[in-house]
Structure 1
Amino acid sequence: MVFDLAFIWAGLIAFAVLTYVVLDGFDLGIGILFPFGKSERDRDLMMNSVAPVWDGNETWLVLGGGGLFAVFPLAYAIVMPALYMPITLMLLALVFRGVSFEYRWRTERKGLWDAAFFGGSLVAAFCQGIALGALVQGIEIEGRNYSGGWFDWLTPFSVLTGLAVVVGYALLGATWLVLKTEGDLRVQMRGYAWWLGAATLGVIGVVSILTPFQDPVYFERWFNLPGSLWSMIVPVLMAALSWSFFTGLNDQNDVRPFLSALGFFVVSFIGIGISFFPMMVPPSLTIWQAAAPDSSLAFALVGAVILIPIILAYTAYAYWVFRGKMDPSEGYH
Structure 2
Amino acid sequence: MIHINFEDIFNYEFISKYKNFVLCGEEWNGENYKFNISDSNIEFDKSGDKTLYEVIEWIKENHNEKTVRNFFEFVYENIETIFIGSFDNIRELAQNFNELSKNKEVERICKEIFNYGKLYNKREYPRFIQSILNVFYKKIKVCPYCNRQYIDVFNGTERTFDFEHHFHKSKYWIFSISLANLLPSCKSCNQRKGTIDVLSEIFLSPYEDVRVSFSIEYDEKEIGNTNSLNAIESSIKKIIVEQDRGSNVEKLYLEELYQLHKDIVAEIEFKKRAYPKIRRIFDEKTFDSLEFEEIYRLIYSNYYPISEEEFLKRPLSKLTFDIYEELNNPY
Q: Normalising by structure 1, report the TM-score.
A: 0.24
Bigger radius of gyration, 1 or 2? 2
Highest RCO, 1 vs 2 (Cα 8 Å, sep ≥ 6): 1
Q: Normalising by structure 2, report the TM-score.
A: 0.25
Q: Which has the higher strand share?
A: 2
